[in-house]
Amino acid sequence: MSYLSHRRIPLSRRRRPGGRTTAAVLATALATTGAVFLASTPAQATPTSSTTLVVNADQTLRSVTHVATGSLYGLADASTPADSLVTPLSPNTFVQMAPGGSQLPNGEPSPAGDSLVVAAKAARAGAKVVVRMPDWYPNFPYKWVSWSDWLSAVDTQVASVKSSGATNIAAYELWNEPDWTWDTTNAGSFDDGWARTFNEVRSKDASTPIQGPSYSAWNLSWMTTFLTDAKASGTVPDIISWHELSGSQNIAADVAAYRSLESSLGISPRPISIEEYGKPAEMGNSGALISYAAKFERAGVHDAELAFWNHYGTLGDTLTDTGGSPNGSYWTYKWYGEMSGNMLVTTPPAQTGIDGIASLNGSGNQIRVVAGACTGS
């Protein structure tokens, strides 16, 4: 379960010129009963119990960007879901099918979610779109045809993107989960294939970011080999991506491990995209999902998208079905989408259990807190 609380700070308690924040230094605790309170005492450095989430209201984490409000295949077509459902979530980024793609995931009867078909809908909600290029093919895992076939598909997609006039294409994702979907026997090593595909895209489009390697999970060994080879070939992705599909407990450690590796290899800091997050049993589960959002915010992830386990056009299973009505998790993401100003530092008692996100609006007079992953009514 998750909870929302917000409270305005009287004008007399706002920051004074030349002085220290007074009442803006607040501790917010949410106990297992779901009660939320604000107190005008200094924020504690650590939680006081295993059921306390501390919000440090005088410590800005980052500007509000709604990092985790997007989804994979969250949009089905130009009209589904309705804009009235999409816009309130303030989605950051959608990962969508290759333009002209034929992917039929999860037994869908026909392709949907074409990145260029939905680009304008995403733009109306203030979101960007990532083009998942290998979803040009109908099967998953992908069935390799030939290099000439693949490079022709790449050229066709890039030409479509360039001619579309879409201004909200975030990146090309060159492949998806190559750790188990890349056909090494027929296509050669993935790292060589990455470089070849990267150079093909760049020969046709010199500016749109390229995103990868899009592994199915964080793996230091895989990423070390990939980045070492990519640096040697001059094909390091503009945006680094992988998936977090096994729970939220390792996100902080995974991001820290990547940053350490990046530095050790002399690669300049890249934005991190977690293209898919959430286990099947967690979809639609507000409390479980808010833990991911909180950890992505703290770790400084650029964007993260709810996984696609069921049907197209459900905004990451926050709707009951394609173009359906909101379920419980929808309202959690709506609260998240309503945040503005700056995200605040939140401190949970552990990597699992109660966690949450908080923001302070631009006027400095309202704190919003969304917390969950706790027990009780």
Contact assessment for residue 194 and residue 212, using Cβ atoms and an 8 Å cutoff? yes
217 and 354 part of one domain? no
In a domain, 297, yes or no: yes
In a domain, 377, yes or no: no
In a domain, 317, yes or no: yes
In a domain, 198, yes or no: yes
Is the pLDDT reported for residue 284 higher than 80? yes
Helix axes 286-299, 328-337, angle to 10 degrees: 30
Q: In which band, very low, low, confident or very high, does the pLDDT at 110 lie, cut at 50, 70 and 90?
A: very high
Per the structure, the complete domain to which residue 275 belongs is given by 70-337
Is the pLDDT reported for residue 290 higher than 80? yes
Say what the pLDDT of residue 106 is.
Answer: 84
pLDDT tens for each residue of 210-265: 999 999 999 999 999 999 999 999 999 999 999 999 999 999 999 999 999 999 99
In a domain, 284, yes or no: yes
Q: Distance between CA 315 and CA 286 in Å, rounded?
A: 14
Say what the pLDDT of residue 22 is.
Answer: 24
pLDDT tens for each residue of 312-362: 999 999 999 998 999 999 999 999 999 999 999 999 998 889 999 999 999
In a domain, 57, yes or no: yes
261 and 147 part of one domain? yes
Q: What is the mean pLDDT of the segment spanning 268-291?
A: 96
Is the pLDDT reported for residue 39 higher than 50? no
Q: Distance between CA 172 and CA 214 in Å, rounded?
A: 11
48 and 103 part of one domain? no
Instruction: Measure Cα distances from 38 to 25, 144, 266 in Å.
Output: 10, 57, 44
49 and 132 part of one domain? no
45 and 154 part of one domain? no
Say what the pLDDT of residue 70 is.
Answer: 97
41 and 129 part of one domain? no
Q: What is the average pLDDT value for the chain, to the nearest integer? A: 89
The domain total for the chain is: 2
83 and 57 part of one domain? no
The residue ranking higher by pLDDT, 4 or 132, is 132
Is the pLDDT reported for residue 40 higher than 80? no
Q: Distance between CA 169 and CA 172 in Å, rounded?
A: 8
Say what the pLDDT of residue 43 is.
Answer: 47
Total-model pTM:
0.89
Say what the pLDDT of residue 4 is.
Answer: 59
In a domain, 361, yes or no: yes
Long-range contacts of 221-228 (CB under 8 A, 24+ apart): 222/179, 223/258, 223/261, 224/261, 224/265, 225/191, 226/190, 226/191, 226/194, 227/261, 227/262, 227/265, 227/267, 228/265
What CATH number did the domain enclosing 283 receive?
3.20.20.80
Is the pLDDT reported for residue 77 higher than 70? yes
Q: In which band, very low, low, confident or very high, does the pLDDT at 374 lie, cut at 50, 70 and 90?
A: confident
In a domain, 81, yes or no: yes
Token pair of 117, please?
A: 């078909």
346 and 273 part of one domain? no
203 and 217 part of one domain? yes
155 and 90 part of one domain? yes
Q: What is the mean pLDDT of the segment spanning 89-109?
A: 94
Kind plus residue range of the DSSP H or E element containing 58: strand 54-63
* φ/ψ bin of 336: left (φ > 0), alpha (ψ from -120 to 50), beta (otherwise): alpha
134 and 250 part of one domain? yes
Say what the pLDDT of residue 26 is.
Answer: 31
358 and 308 part of one domain? no
Q: In which band, very low, low, confident or very high, does the pLDDT at 47 lie, cut at 50, 70 and 90?
A: low
pLDDT tens for each residue of 169-197: 999 999 999 999 999 999 999 999 999 99
